[in-house]
Structure formats: C-alpha cells, structure tokens
Structure 1
Amino acid sequence: MTDEQLDPPDGWTVSTATATHISLYHAAGNGRSLVVRPTEPGSEEWLVKGLAGYEPPYPIFADDVARAAAIEEAITVMETIAAGESVEPLRTESTADGNAVATAGDDNETTGDAQKEEKESDDAVDQADLTAFASEGDDK
C-alpha cells in the first residue's frame, strides 16, 4: 500500500505522509493522533504508536512489522476508534520518543508506573522532617 492509497476512516486526517513518517489525526472526540514510522532510523521494521489522547499514554499498536503491515494496523486502529471502541495496545511507553519503555501487564499497570510508585515510597521514608535542621535562632 502506498501513501497515495491511504484513505483513513471518517474523522481521521493524514497530516504528514513521507517515505519515513505518516501522521494521522482524529479531530473528533479527544483529538487522538497516530504515527507510523520506522522503529529505528534506517530500519525496515515499522511501528504504530498513539501520540495524543490515549490513556495510558503512548500506546504501541504494532512493532517490528513491515511498512505495509504497519499501515494496515494503523487503519484497523483508526476504524476501531472511529466506531467508538477501545483498542488494546501491545505495550505502552512512558515518553513520546520511546526512550523509557514500559510493558503493559495483565492488571493494566505499566512497569514505569510501578517503579515510580516504589521510588515515591522510598522518598517518603528517606525524607527527614525539615524542622530537624532548624535552630531556635532561625525564627527571626
């Protein structure tokens, strides 16, 4: 399938279509967007990623697939969203650029969320009472 043949479902717009990047936008509802791009620069494998309007953020719907398969998966995701249904991602990432990958689990909690909660818990234990360092003369 070529970009010229990409005909998104009603409500979706192709905002960018180059040889290395396809961006799609769903203006209805909460303004969701998708990107179809190589998994790595110069790679032959592609991914389909949600960028805006998804919860949890940055879902990956297809990864390490051929470009045509990625486009087909993007169309399936768009059709599902246009029908008012939810789409289950393969996994989610905690950043838009994909540097911090968090794998979705059965309980829908991402690894990144669990690590964040653990760190917050550790910080609370290690936090000293701020008045412990004050002296009586500091009230002036």
Structure 2
Amino acid sequence: VVLLGGLLGARRGTMAVLAYLMEGAMGFPVFANMQAGAHVLIGPTAGYLWGFVLAAFLIGYLAENGLTIKPVFSFLSCFAATTLILILGTLYLAMFKLGFNEALIMGLYPFLVGDVVKSALCAGLITGFRRLS
C-alpha cells in the first residue's frame, strides 16, 4: 500500500488501493486470510483497510512534494503512512469489538517491529525508483 502510493503518487496510488478494496467487496478473496465480501469493509479490520486508502494518499502526496528523494525523509514518510494505518486500524478495532488496551495488544504491538522493517524496505525501493526516473 505504501509502495503503491510512493511510486504512483497520491491520485493513482489511492485509486489503486480503492480498486483493491472493490475487488474484495465484489467477492475476490484478496483480504487477509482469503476473506472477501463487502462485510469485511465494515468488520473488525475495516479500520486498517480504510487506513490503506489514506496512507496511499499521504505517502503519494509526500512523494509528489519531494519528501521521498532522500532516504531518511523517505523512511519517515513511509513510517508516517504506516503509522496512520495502525492508528486507524487500532482505534476502529477498539471501538468495534475490544477495549482500547486489548486493541493495542492485538492490533498494534505485534506489528510495530515488522512495520518499521517494511517502512525501511519501502523507503529504499521508493528512493531507488525515484532516482532512476
């Protein structure tokens, strides 16, 4: 999601993520655990899915404005977009089914280290592709 926005820009990256959500809503098993259907877009993980849209826009906007050219800024931009996904997903999870503490334990903490690593990898790819183009 972050890579899409970072490489395609705010508009096209957001449209690509919306297309992904539409595929899942139409019944294609593209969501986690091969889930599909419109109900997933309002289920417990919906906050993460809708966070994808905002994150793609955010990183795309930052990339279009030159904040992904240097590796450090690229990492910070990627991590900001990833953090947006985690915040929206965790808050929705807390409101939907769990209390806030349980949502943190189940929907945030397990993903932090991996998301830092993914942000670094994504930043490297975005920076590399931006320099090539």
TM category, shorter? under 0.3
Larger of the two Rg values belongs to structure: 1
TM score, norm. by length of structure 2? 0.26
| Higher share in strand | 1
TM score, norm. by length of structure 1? 0.25
